[in-house]
Structure 1
Amino acid sequence: MLRSVLGTLVFLCALLRLARSQIPLEVLPLTFVTFEHHTQAATGQTTGRWLVLFNSHLHHRAGRASKVFAELASDEEKDVIVAEVDLDAEGNRYLAMRFPDIQPPAAVLFRDRLMYEYPGSVVAEDAVQQVKAFYQSDYAQQVGKLVPSARKLPSTSDIEKAQEGKWVKIALGVAMLAVGWWIKNKFGPSTAASPPSQASNTAGKRHSS
């Protein structure tokens, strides 16, 4: 009986090592297009547990946050996939709309079909240790939130069409301004000097007399 239990434990440990060995040791970049496909955050999370850095290249500490997550990703013993997404990058604004309450830089753990936002600063001096403790156990101190659905967001083709429509509107606006300027200069009131007024003519006659 004891040998059977020990054998089972050894087998489970081997499976755990195998699973961890398949977790990338670098930060995976995500975009609006790839976010749900890779993380499956709202559709079952069958790809594993994800620790995602919601970052912004406009934030003055964005680089520091990226370094913290690079160090977290290099941990061979971790059981989460580490990723990063730039909410202010071109094409990712709909992802920012999907997670409106997240202010970058912020760390969010996706597991068990729920999401847990790290309450501390991801740029603090001890951020690596604190975020690691969070995704390992401290997340359980929170009440997990439901992951916002991605189905209500526009598709990639919708985004491309919207961007094309935006440039068409800009081009039409510039063309209308140019036509208006041409019409004003072509058919507008003459810039020639107006004839002298009657009062000026009368004053001239008195002066000559």
Structure 2
Amino acid sequence: MKIYIVGAPDENEIYPFFENNQKPVVKELNDKIFEHMTQAATGATTGDWFVMFYGASCVECQRLHALWEGVGAKLRGRVNVARVDASLAGAQTAKRFHVDKLPTFLFFRLGKVYKYALPKTDIKSFVSFAQDWYKNAKGEPVPLLASPFDEVVDWTVEMIKYSVSFGLDILSKYPWIWQIGIGGFGLVALTAIIALIKAGRTSVTKDTKKEKKRK
């Protein structure tokens, strides 16, 4: 009795590639070298790139690593095949391309990025997509690298979101803090008003004394 797993890698496709390609053909990219290697947004002079975004805790990703090597061997000399760890060394790159699901496969060509969304995950389908089928997908302009200012803005926005969320959570647990906060604000405002009134009276008193001395 044989058990067949739908979508499982075909060993008849993979093993011959391993025999003919002893060295890994899939390049490992990270945040530091991704743009330098692919030039995705800066000219694309290094050719087309087919990139798999994966994560260490993604079971499906682990299953596809060997198959992805087969894709790389099949496309060698025509398309660069690589992978990026979206959960660690390539987290910023994954964020740049809005990768929110693993695995994700993106094809980069001449300043545009095409997302592989076909149901099949076999060597033949991947190779077909990289060679011609990508034309049927919607190409998006490759996002530019974030500047240091953009990173600061993103960090600030995230901190504000976290602070608001944290504050609302605390207030929902301890509603009496609202009363203290409002009471505290009222006390501060009242103190400021009294100080202004006193300052005004003092000024008037001094002016009155000066007028009397002149007379």
Range into which the TM-score falls when normalised by the shorter chain: 0.5 to 0.7
One-letter amino acid matched to 1:43: T
Q: Say which SS state the counterpart of residue 113 (structure 2) adopts.
A: strand
**Number of the residue aligned with 1:105:** 103
CA distance in 2, matches of 1:154, 1:38: 24
3-state SS, counterpart of residue 96 of structure 1? helix
1:195 alignment partner in structure 2: none
- From the superposition, tell whether residues 76 and 135 of structure 1 become closer, same or farther in structure 2 (CA, over 3 Å): closer
Give the deviation of 1:94 after TM superposition: 1.7
User: TM-score by structure 2 length?
Assistant: 0.54
Provide the TM-score with structure 1 as the length reference: 0.56
Per-residue CA deviations over 1:77-102 (Å, capped at 9, x if unaligned) read 6510000001002x432222212245
User: 1-side partners of 2:127 and 2:85: how far apart?
Assistant: 21
Code of the residue aligned with 1:92 in structure 2: it is G
Alignment partner, residue 115 of structure 1: 113
- Which residues of structure 2 form unaligned runs of 5+? 1-22, 156-215
Map residues 72-151 of structure 1 onto 2, 5 A cutoff.
Answer: 72-75=71-74, 79-89=78-88, 91-121=89-119, 124=121, 127-151=122-146
Q: In structure 2, how many angstroms separate the alpha carbons of the residues matched to 1:154 and 1:32?
A: 17
Query: Alignment partner of 1:82: what SS?
Result: strand
Change (3 A) 1:77 1:42: closer
Residues of 2 paired with 1:67 and 1:86: CA distance? 15
| 1:52 and 1:108 in contact (8 A); partners too | yes
Match of 1:175 in 2: none
1:5-39 superposed Cα distances (whole Å, 9 cap, x missing partner) = xxxxxxxxxxxxxxxxxxx9610000011111100
Change (3 A) 1:61 1:52: same
Aligned structure 1 segments of 4 or more residues deviating by more than 6 angstroms: none
Aligned residue in 2 for 1:49: 48
Cα–Cα, structure 1 residues 121 and 27, in superposed 2: closer, same or farther, change >3 Å?
farther
CA displacement at 1:57 relative to structure 2:
1.2
Asked if the contact 1:94–1:153 (Cα under 8 Å) also holds between the matched residues in 2, the reply is no
CA–CA distance in 1 between the matches of 2:41 and 2:137? 19
Cα-to-partner distance string for 1:114-135 (whole Å, 9 max, x where unaligned): 011111246x3xx111111101
CA 1:154–1:81 in structure 2 vs 1: closer, same or farther (change >3 Å)?
Answer: farther
Q: CA deviation at 1:136?
A: 0.7
In 1: Cα distance, 2:148 partner to 2:54 partner: 20
**Map of 2:35 onto structure 1:** 36
How far residue 74 of structure 1 moved from its aligned partner, in angstroms, is 1.4
Describe the shift of the 1:115–1:46 C-alpha distance in structure 2 as closer, same or farther (beyond 3 A).
same
Aligned length: 131
- Structure with the larger helix share: 2
Residue 26 of structure 1 aligns with which residue? 25
